[in-house]
Amino acid sequence: MRTVLITGAAGSGRSTVAAATALAAARAGHRTLLLSTDRSGTIGRVLGQPLPAPAATTDAVRSPCTRPVEVAGGLWAARLATAEYFRSELADLQERARGVLDFLGAHPGAAEEATELPGADALTLLAAVRAAHRATAAPHAGPTGAAAPRWDALVVDLPPATETVHLLALPDQLGRYLRRLLPAERQAARALHPMLAQLTGVPMPAQRLYETSAQWQQELTAVQQLIDADALTVRLVVDPGPLAARALRTVRAGLALHGARVDALIANRLLPTGSADPWLTAASGQQQTALKELKELNEPVGAEEPREPYAPAAGPVPQPAGDHPRAARAAGSRAPAFQELPHLGRDPQGLADLAVLADAVGPLDARRDGPAAEPWTVEDRLADDGLLVWRLPLPGADRDDLDLVRRGDELVVTVGPFRRVLPLPSALRRCTVAGAGLHEGALQVRFAPDPGLWPRGH
pLDDT in tens, 327-364: 333 333 357 888 989 888 777 888 998 999 999 999 99
Pairwise CA distance, residues 17 & 157, whole Å: 8
User: Distance of CA 164 to CAs 153, 170, 429, 448, Å?
Assistant: 20, 10, 31, 36
Which pLDDT band holds residue 287 (cuts at 50, 70, 90)? Answer: confident
Please say whether the beta carbons of 394 and 441 come within 8 A: yes
Please say whether the beta carbons of 428 and 379 come within 8 A: no
* Interval 363-396: pLDDT, tens: 998 888 888 888 889 999 999 999 999 999 999 8
H/E segment holding residue 46? helix 42-47
Which residues lie across from 69 on neighbouring strands? 77
Smallest CA-to-CA distance from 177 within 213, 140, 226 is with 213
Please say whether the beta carbons of 111 and 104 come within 8 A: no
Percent of the chain surpassing pLDDT 90? 36
The phi, psi pair for 221, rounded to 5°, reads: -65, -40
Pairwise CA distance, residues 388 & 375, whole Å: 16
Report strand pairing: 232-238 vs 262-270: parallel
Pairwise CA distance, residues 284 & 369, whole Å: 41
In the structure, how many helices (H) and strands (E) does the chain have?
Answer: 14, 15
Q: Where are the domains of the chain?
A: 2-361, 377-449
Please say whether the beta carbons of 196 and 204 come within 8 A: yes
Pairwise CA distance, residues 334 & 243, whole Å: 25
Quick one: fold of 377-449? Immunoglobulin-like (2.60.40)
Pick the most confident of 142-156, 161-175, 205-219, 332-346: 161-175
**pTM for the full model?**
0.82
Report strand pairing: 442-449 vs 431-439: antiparallel
Smallest CA-to-CA distance from 143 within 71, 61, 51 is with 61
Please say whether the beta carbons of 317 and 331 come within 8 A: no
Please say whether the beta carbons of 294 and 240 come within 8 A: yes
Judged against a pLDDT cut of 70, whether residue 10 lies above it is answered with: yes
CATH superfamily of 2-361: P-loop containing nucleotide triphosphate hydrolases (3.40.50.300)
Query: What distance separates the 2 farthest-apart alpha carbons in the chain?
Result: 88
Please say whether the beta carbons of 17 and 341 come within 8 A: yes
Q: Which of 11-25, 168-182, 230-244 is the least confident region?
A: 168-182
Please say whether the beta carbons of 164 and 44 come within 8 A: no
Pairwise CA distance, residues 241 & 293, whole Å: 10
**Chain centre distance of CA 206:** 34
Percent of the chain surpassing pLDDT 70? 74
Please say whether the beta carbons of 399 and 426 come within 8 A: no
Please say whether the beta carbons of 256 and 375 come within 8 A: yes
Please say whether the beta carbons of 8 and 158 come within 8 A: no
CB under 8 Å to 436, separation ≥6 — which residues? 404, 443, 444, 445, 446
Residues in the chain: 458
Please say whether the beta carbons of 418 and 326 come within 8 A: no
Q: In what order do the strands lie in the sheet with 387-393?
A: 377-381, 387-393, 442-449, 431-439
Smallest CA-to-CA distance from 255 within 79, 6, 444, 38 is with 6
Burial classification of residue 32, based on how many CB atoms lie within 10 Å of its CB (0-12 exposed, 13-18 middle, 19 or more buried): buried
One-letter amino acid of 413? V
* Interval 424-443: pLDDT, tens: 999 999 999 999 999 888 99
CB under 8 Å to 425, separation ≥6 — which residues? 378, 390
* Interval 225-243: pLDDT, tens: 999 999 999 999 998 887 8
Pairwise CA distance, residues 340 & 26, whole Å: 20
Query: Pseudo-torsion of CA 171, 172, 175, 181, nearest 10°?
Result: -130
pLDDT for the residue numbered 95? 61
